[in-house]
Amino acid sequence: MSFEDIFQEDSSVVNSAHARVNLIGEHTDYTGGYVFPSLLNFKTTIQISQNNKKIYQVYSENFNEQKNFTDFIKSKNIDWIDYVKGCLFVFYDENKYIPNTYLNIFISSTIPMGRGISSSSALCVAILKTLNNFFKSQYSKKHIAILAQKVERNYIGVSGGIMDQMVSSIGITRKAFFLDCLTLKYDLIDLPRNWVFCLVDSAVQRNLRDSAYNERYNQLKKAEQYLGVEYLGSVKPNQFYKNKINDELILKRARHVITENDRVLKAKQSILNTDIKLFGKLMNESHLSYAEDFEASTKDVDLIIERSISSGAEGARLTGGGFGGFTVSLIHSNNYQNWKINMSKFYDDKIIFEV
């Protein structure tokens, strides 16, 4: 199906946004810390045109479904259409002088959904970029990322950070995107040529993930209260060990974030030095901390990590919000064929993707 098949006319504006893999730095973004993602080739594309039917008509190719609406009221059980409504709501709210303009919107995507590679942020960034072009608002890529975050936080109601929206809006494939989430200053760094990052998919239960994510978010906000700081991201490991948190669970969650921020800074340096061993080691430490202190991994994921390392990866970890989804492994290009042969003893080629 194409835009023309559904709406019997050509679209006037087309734009897309990519998914991301986070190489290292998990649950550090909303605590004012550092993250280090990179863009994937998977992307979501939006086509729009104006209609004169006084109704918004939206077709999703992936769901093979058309939904129409005239107001921006959120559904009781969040559905894909709510991301579209949320983007329009936030965009019009920001642009009060733009008259409500009825649109035909066509969504197509190659991004696997609910796997920790930010399909929802890519959808919001792609819609907002398209609206930005259509209405000639001239928002910067950074501003589009901020609006996309507003959609998820204020409209959908997920307490996410800013990493996914920033990298989806500004990132470039084959470059790592180092982001300071407090200042929103970033660096784009080439991935060394002989480093191969590979994703391996695991099963995921979406509903569990959202509630567990919000729970972790609240635990980290509690840790900030205990330590009397605005952001955990401002606490260095040596300062942390001097302070006391008399709640074992909150202490573990905070320790993950504080040591993770330190690992992101070291990981950035190790890419600049093309030190693959160190980057791999940091990924392994990151996974251990994510699994043990943050308790965000699953048995299936841990098994993928173990097998990936014994198959020849320099390092491997769970990427994204946690509780399933994709893992990311770093392999030296000289070992890549062997790694793939070894991994194919356990996993179908179809669930392994080269970044």
Residues of the shown chain interacting with ligand GLA in the complex, contacts defined by CB under 6 A:
22, 26-27, 29-30, 118, 160-161, 163-164, 320-321
Residue 10: exposed, middle, or buried by beta-carbon count in 10 A (0-12, 13-18, 19+)?
Answer: exposed
Shortest separation between residue 97's beta carbon and ligand GLA, angstroms: 31
Closer residue to ligand GLA, CB minimum distance, 31 or 108:
31
- Provide the minimum distance between the beta carbon of 146 and ligand GLA in the complex, in angstroms, as a whole number: 13
Q: Enter the tokens of residue 203.
A: 């099963």
195 vs 294 by CB, closer to ligand GLA: 294
Instruction: Name the residue nearer to ligand GLA (CB basis): 29 or 293.
Output: 29
Q: C-beta of 303: minimal distance to ligand GLA in Å? A: 21
Taking the C-alpha atoms of residue 265 and residue 262, their distance in angstroms, rounded to an integer, is: 5
When the beta carbons of 161 and 171 are compared against ligand GLA, the nearer one is: 161
CB 201 within 8 Å of CB 112 = yes
The least CB distance from residue 78 to ligand GLA, in Å, is 15
Counting Cβ atoms within 10 Å, is residue 96 exposed (0-12), middle (13-18) or buried (19+)?
exposed
> How near is the Cβ of 59 to ligand GLA at its closest, in Å?
26
Q: Pick the closest to residue 324 from 305, 303, 300, 306 (CA basis).
A: 300
**What's the number of CA atoms in the CB half-sphere (13 Å) around residue 80?**
22
Judged by beta carbon, residue 106 or residue 155, the one nearer ligand GLA is 155
Q: E strands of 129-194, at which residues? A: 175-180, 185-190
Minimum Å distance from CB 113 to ligand GLA? 13
Active-site residue (options: 164, 210, 262, 293)? 164
Of 165 and 308, nearer to ligand GLA (C-beta) is: 165
| Contact assessment for residue 179 and residue 186, using Cβ atoms and an 8 Å cutoff | yes
Mind giving me the DSSP string for 290-301? Answer: HHHTS----HHH
Q: How far is the CB of 133 from ligand GLA (least distance, A)?
A: 25
Question: For this structure, is 5 an active site residue?
Answer: no
**Measured in Å, how far apart are the chain's first and last C-alpha atoms?**
28
What are the DSSP calls for 45-107, one per residue? Answer: EEEEEE-SSSSEEEEETTTTEEEEESS-PPPSS--HHHHHHHHHHHHHHH-TTSPP--EEEEE
Q: Burial, 224: exposed, middle or buried (Cβ in 10 Å; 0-12, 13-18, 19+)?
A: buried
Tokens of 63: 């769901």
CB neighbour list of residue 269: distance below 8 Å, 6 or more residues apart: none
Query: Angle formed by the axes of helices 119-134 and 163-170, to 10°?
Result: 50
Can you read off the two tokens belonging to residue 313? 């990866």
**Choice between 81 and 167, CB closer to ligand GLA:** 167
Catalytic residue numbers read 164
